[in-house]
Every structure is written in C-alpha cells, then in structure tokens.
Amino acid sequence: ETIGRVIQQSVSANGSKVRMWGDMVNSLWEQHRIPTAICLEEIWNELVTVYSVCRFCTYVMQPWSFSRASQSMREGIVQTHSSLIATAHGVRIDAAVERALEAMLGSSQSSMVRTIIGTSPHLRQMSQAQVLMQWLPEHMPILAEKILERGKLIYARVVPTSCP
C-alpha cells in the first residue's frame, strides 16, 4: 500500500510513466527464501498491473550451477518476469554453453537437443543456453555435468581475466 501510494503520487505529480528498479528480491533468493521471493515478485507484479509502471530487476545468478537452488531460482525468475535480458557476461556464458554442447554431442545431436528444448514456452524469456541448463539435469544428468565442466573451461579461455 505504501509503495502504491508513492507510485500514484509520482504519476499524479508529473503524469509521466514510472519506472521502478529493485534488487530486494535478489536478497531473498540469495538467502534461499525462494517461496518468499516468489510471493514478493507476485506482489510487485500486481503493482505493475494496477499502476501501469515499468519494473526492472537485477539478479545475481550462479551460471555454472545445476544445484536445486539454482534451478529453483531460474524457474522462479521465469515464472514472475515477462522477459530476461542477459548482461555481456551472460552472453559469453551462453556462447560457452553452446560450444560445450556442440563439442560433447557433435553438430547433429546438439541440433536435435536444441530442437527438443526449442518447444519450451520459456524460450522467449530465457536464452537457449539457459533453457538448456534447465533441461539437461533432468533429462541427461550425466551429460549435464560434462557440458557444465566443458563450458567452464571454454568460458575461462574466452573471458578476460579481469571479469568475475
């Protein structure tokens, strides 16, 4: 209610579109309070609808993790957001995952896997590599770990040492 009043006052005061940015939910994710984080995201989404504002979020993700916590985080983010935008860092991770998949499976089989995951409704929100990292542990767990390790090696050779 408090945030809603602030948004309403801002819209009334200057009539312009309000843009919000936050990382509060990221703190909940990092504390592994996933149900609470998802609940808060849903509340923010209600505010976005009621007050017609643009909302931007920032998340720190563990890109090289197939842990259940990382999987839950990615799933929760996809459920509560209309789209995802990768940073340059994320784009390089995606490229490393794609190259690792190709190296492990070859072009024919990696193309088949891409076709299978291409039917996922989440592709509009996530990069193909992110979808792949969601799909592999469930459907090809042994291969998932090998692709993860290969992707880390490829990434380490591609990214300048000054990057985290």
Q: What is the pLDDT of residues 14-42, one digit of tens each?
A: 777 788 887 888 888 888 888 898 898 88
Q: What is the pLDDT of residues 94-130, one digit of tens each?
A: 889 889 999 999 999 998 888 888 776 655 567 777 7
| β-sheet bridge partners, residue 57 | 22
CA atoms within 13 A on the CB side of 79: 14
Residue 67 and residue 30 in contact, taking contact as beta carbons nearer than 8 Å: no
* Residue indicated by tokens 């390790």: 149
Which two structure tokens, joined as six digits, stand for 120?
A: 């996922």
* Residue indicated by tokens 């209610």: 1
Q: What is the pTM of this model?
A: 0.65
Residue 75 and residue 120 in contact, taking contact as beta carbons nearer than 8 Å: no
